[in-house]
Amino acid sequence: MQYNWQNLNWEKFKFDDSVIDSLCIDFALETGELKGLVDSLPTEVQQETILQFMISEAVKTSEIEGEFFSREDVMSSIKKNLGIGDAVGQIRDKKAQGIGKLMVTVRNSYSEKLTEFIIKEWHAILMEYSKRVNPGEYRSGVEPMQIVSGSFGKEIIHFEAPPSTQVPAEMQKFINWYNDFEVKPTDIKRALIKTSISHLYFESIHPFEDGNGRIGRTIAKKCLSESLNRPVLMSISSTIEQNKKQYYESLKQAQKTLDITHWILYFSTLILESQKNAKQIVLFTLNKTKFIDRFKKQMNDRQSKAVLKMFESGISGFQGGMTVLKYVSINKTSRATATRDLQDLTIKNILIPKGEGRNRSYDLNLLS
C-alpha cells in the first residue's frame, strides 16, 4: 500500500475548496455570535469560560488516546499555570500536570511563529512524566512506526509513517509549508483549509514515539487561532471524541492520497460543530454564574462547596448526582449533617431529589 508521504513533493496536496463554501458562511455566523456573547460577559465570567474550554480540551484530547484524567486534576494544573494559586488543589496524577500546562502554554503563545523548537517544547511539556518516551525528542528507532489494531497475529496496519531517519527533514518541510501558508484574519476559507491540512500533514509524519495525536490536535487549534488572529474558544477534541471511529477512518483514507478534498470537508465540518458546541458551554457558564449569584446567600459554606463541586463537571453534569456519601466526602462532615444540608437545599429549590432510600441522589435545579 502506498501512503501520501511516499509520493514526490507530497506536501503539495490537491483539493477542491468549493466544498466548504457554504460551511464558511455558517462558521462566520457562529464564530461572530460566540464572540459577541463572550465579549458581553463580565471579566470574571469570561475567565471562567476560558477555563472550562481548556479543561474540556485537555480531558478529551487525552481520552481519545486512552488516557483518563479527572477534571479536578486537570483544572488544578491549568489554574496553577494561569497563576490562580489560591484555588489550586493537590494534583494526584502527575501526567495531568503536563496536559494542563500545555493548554495554557499554547493559548498564551498562539500568535508566535511555529518552529520545530516550539513543537518539541510542547511534547516535552506533555510527556514530562512519561517513562516510555524521550520528551521533546523525535523518534529514532529502526522499527517501522505503524498504526495498528487487532489482536496478536491478526493485526491490521492502518498507516505506516516515514522512517525515523526521514523525520527531521520531513518536519523541516512541514514547518516551511506552515509558515509559507499565509492567511488573512478575515479569510475564513483559507483558515479552515490550513488548519485541516496542518493536522493531516503532522499526523502523517508522526514524528514522536507517543503523543502525536495530542500534539497534532494542538497544532490544529494553534493554527486556527493564529489564522483568525485570536485564541479560539472551542474544544475540537470533544467533538472528535463523540465519533472517534469516523475521525480515524477519515484520517486513514486521507493518508492514502494527495487529493484531500474529502478530508478538508470532514475536518472543517468538525471545526464548525466544535464552534456550535462552544456556544452551549458559554451559556452553561453564564447560567452557572447566575445560579450562584441567586443562591449564594441562602447556602452555608458546606452547601456552597458541594454545589460548586457539582458545577465543576461542566455541561455533562455531575455523574450520578450528589449523594449523602459524596457530600460527606467533599465536606468531611457527618452523615447527619450531610442529610440535613441536602434536605435544606431541596426545600430552597437549589437541588432536585430523585430516587428513594439508598438510591436517593440530587441534581442541580438549573430550571429554577
217 is in an annotated binding site: yes
Residues sharing a CB contact under 8 Å with residue 192, sequence separation 6 or more, in sequence order: 20, 23, 24, 27, 224, 264, 267, 268, 271
Enter the C-alpha cell of residue 186: 478575515
**CA distances to 127, 136, 211 from 121, in Å:** 10, 6, 12
213 is in an annotated binding site: yes
Question: Percent helix, strand, coil in the chain (nearest 5)?
Answer: 65, 5, 30
212 is in an annotated binding site: yes
Q: Dihedrals φ, ψ of 115, to 5°?
A: -135, 165
CB distance 92 to 158 below 8 Å: no
What is residue 2's three-state secondary structure? coil
247 is in an annotated binding site: yes
Q: Dihedrals φ, ψ of 323, to 5°?
A: -125, 170
Triad 49, 50, 54: Cα angle to 5°? 120
Asked if 206 is an active-site residue, the reply is: yes
CB distance 245 to 5 below 8 Å: no
Question: Of 122, 82, 74, which Cα lies nearest the Cα of 100?
Answer: 74
Q: In the block, which residue shows the cell 495530542?
A: 214
CB distance 310 to 322 below 8 Å: yes
CB distance 160 to 252 below 8 Å: no
25 is in an annotated binding site: no
Q: CA 243, CA 93: separation in Å to the nearest integer?
A: 27
Which of these is catalytic: 123, 158, 206, 262?
A: 206
178 is in an annotated binding site: no
Binding-site residue ranges for ATP? 210-217, 247-248
Going by the annotation, the residues of the binding site are 210-217, 247-248
Q: Which residues are catalytic?
A: 206
